[in-house]
Amino acid sequence: MRTAYLDNNATTAIAPEVREAMEPYFAAEYFNPSSAYERAMPAAQAIKKARETVAGFLGGVDPSEILFTSCATESLNAALYGAVRANPARRHVVTTAVEHPAVLEICKDLARSDLDVTFLPVDRSGNLDLRTFIRALRPDTLIVAVMHANNETGVIFPVEELARIAKETDPAILFLTDATQTAGKLPLDLRGTMSHVDLLAFSGHKLHAPKGVGALFVRRGAPLRPFMIGGHQEGGRRAGTENVPYIAGLARAVELAWADHVATEARIRRLRDRLEAGLLASVPCVEVNGQGAARLPNTLNISVHFIEGEGILYQLNSHGIWASSGSACTSGSLEPSHVLRAMQVPFTAIHGSVRLSLGRYNSDGDVEHTLEVFPRVVANLRRLSPYWDPARDRPRPEAEAMLQGA
Ligand code: PLP
């Protein structure tokens, strides 16, 4: 059966070059990088080199500003709880209503432990309002946590500008961005356009490194209490024997991502645009979530009115097409996505959302297969929908009225 992996925002395949770079540290170079004898030197060297590579990838920051972690979630926990513990006098946090749970749930936890948290709303396209952001900043604001791009819709936030505004308002405000969906896709220039960002997190497995490794950039001087203690590793800021093979893999992955990112991005964008235009042309009553906003070139979040996204995914799966429906499927609940709810996607469409996310290993064939299967899947499901008139391939009149009101 022909298959198409269209869930690259969930995770990516490990690149063969990455596997190759990791291999020696599983085998001959298994030593503890902290050991004092010469034979352990290659392991220590691999970490040093990886730190330099990631520092270069982030715009040439100082290698000492890079911490290796186990994933973006750990990096975000370390950043947020570390900032709160280091700055007890400041009690206000600003974030957005559409963050990944790795930030959202921490912020809810902070709100429960008597910090004040502002969750910024987004508009129908998924954009933030700059004036609302400026009004949210307060004299006791400790940290702003705004994602670089949304994992469900691909909508990109202007974190460069938000960070600049926050610093101009009060240089002591820390600015954290979750760059998990942008690392390897968009430039992360922490000495240039992102020079006002203090903290940046990402995960290896979104850019063809394995799951279980991530990084946190901490700008020199940013006050942060270590989140994991109990060892001297990572300058005492993240204890625990380093995962040498995975760190070497992460460094190789960022090298690969950056080596050809312009050509790869253009190719992926062309595939995504072809998919998007094809689906809009062949499936009636659909909308693109995030339409009108700046979006990642690889992501298409499409809502199909009057049917369930889970049903679409199930049937796509039986045709070898692997996609996701955002947060609902990962949580195993039937609750619609918090991101789409924040965007006020109408109720006729919010349950029918599907996220198709492409990556460097996708081809025109994957797009053609999906364009062939998706409209048939939707037509089959709509035949069962009380709102749909299959004879006219349109909503029934009462459902049309719901659409007008939507
Ligand atoms: N932040 C964003 C935007 C994500 O998309 C994800 C994963 O989907 C995470 C954080 C968490 O990444 P991890 O599970 O690798 O810690």
Is residue 116 domain-resident?
yes
In this structure, are 298 and 162 located in the same domain?
Answer: no
In this structure, are 204 and 321 located in the same domain?
Answer: no
CA of 36 to the centre of ligand 1 (A): 36
pLDDT at 405: 61
pLDDT in tens, 257-276: 999 999 999 999 999 999 99
**Neighbouring residues of 184: CB distance < 8 A, sequence distance ≥ 6:** 206, 207, 208, 253, 254, 257, 258, 261
The residue among 259, 293, 322 that closes a domain is: 259
Q: Which atom of ligand 1 is nearest to the CA of 102?
A: 10
In this structure, are 376 and 230 located in the same domain?
Answer: no
Which helix (H) or strand (E) segment holds residue 96: the answer is strand 92-96
Is residue 268 domain-resident?
yes
What is the per-residue DSSP string for 115-131?
Answer: -EEEEE---TTSPPPHH
Is residue 8 domain-resident?
no
Which helix (H) or strand (E) segment holds residue 319: the answer is none
pLDDT in tens, 353-388: 999 999 999 999 999 999 999 999 999 999 999 999
In this structure, are 255 and 273 located in the same domain?
Answer: no
pLDDT at 36: 96
In this structure, are 291 and 384 located in the same domain?
Answer: yes
The residue among 259, 276, 302 that closes a domain is: 259
Q: Which residues does residue 4 pair with via DSSP β-bridges, in sequence order?
A: 321
- Regarding beta strands 92-96 and 321-322, do their DSSP bridges make them parallel or antiparallel, or are they unpaired? unpaired
Task: Identify the three-state secondary structure at position 79.
Answer: helix
In this structure, are 56 and 148 located in the same domain?
Answer: yes
Pocket test for ligand 1, best of 70, 100, 339 (most atoms within 8 A of CB): 100
In this structure, are 103 and 235 located in the same domain?
Answer: yes
Q: What is the number of structural domains in the chain?
A: 2
Alpha-carbon gap, residue 164 to 179, rounded angstroms: 17
Is residue 397 domain-resident?
yes
Token pair 């298994």 in the structure block, residue: 30
Q: What is the CATH number of the domain that holds 142?
A: 3.40.640.10
Higher pLDDT, 406 or 246: 246
Pocket test for ligand 1, best of 95, 150, 151, 329 (most atoms within 8 A of CB): 151
CA of 79 to the centre of ligand 1 (A): 14
Q: What is the CATH number of the domain that holds 332?
A: 3.90.1150.10
> For ligand 1, is residue 102 a contact (CB within 6 Å)?
yes
The residue among 239, 259, 279 that closes a domain is: 259
User: For the chain, how far is it from start to end, CA to CA, in angstroms?
Assistant: 39
- For 274, other C-beta atoms within 10 Å of its C-beta total 15
In this structure, are 331 and 344 located in the same domain?
Answer: yes
Torsion over CA: 37, 40, 46, 48 (sign): negative
- The angle that helices 72-86 and 101-112 make with each other, rounded to 10 degrees, is 30
Is residue 350 domain-resident?
yes
CA of 72 to the centre of ligand 1 (A): 6
Tokens of 106: 């921490």
CA of 203 to the centre of ligand 1 (A): 7
> For ligand 1, is residue 180 a contact (CB within 6 Å)?
yes
> For ligand 1, is residue 151 a contact (CB within 6 Å)?
yes
Q: Which atom of ligand 1 is nearest to the CA of 73?
A: 16
> For ligand 1, is residue 72 a contact (CB within 6 Å)?
yes
Catalytic residues: 329
Q: What is the mean pLDDT of residues 25-44?
A: 98
In this structure, are 120 and 55 located in the same domain?
Answer: yes
Share of the chain above pLDDT 90, in %: 92
pLDDT in tens, 84-128: 999 999 999 999 999 999 999 999 999 999 899 999 999 999 999
Confidence class for position 333, pLDDT limits 50, 70, 90:
low
Q: What is the mean pLDDT of residues 13-28?
A: 98
Say yes or no to pLDDT of 328 above 60: no
Phi, psi at 69, each rounded to 5°: -130, -170
Is residue 1 domain-resident?
no
Pocket test for ligand 1, best of 180, 206, 227, 324 (most atoms within 8 A of CB): 180
Is residue 125 domain-resident?
yes
Residue 102: give the domain boundaries. Answer: 16-259
In this structure, are 242 and 350 located in the same domain?
Answer: no
In this structure, are 192 and 66 located in the same domain?
Answer: yes
CA of 71 to the centre of ligand 1 (A): 8
> For ligand 1, is residue 178 a contact (CB within 6 Å)?
yes
Is residue 7 domain-resident?
no
In this structure, are 107 and 176 located in the same domain?
Answer: yes
Torsion over CA: 311, 314, 320, 321 (sign): positive
CA of 100 to the centre of ligand 1 (A): 7
> For ligand 1, is residue 103 a contact (CB within 6 Å)?
no
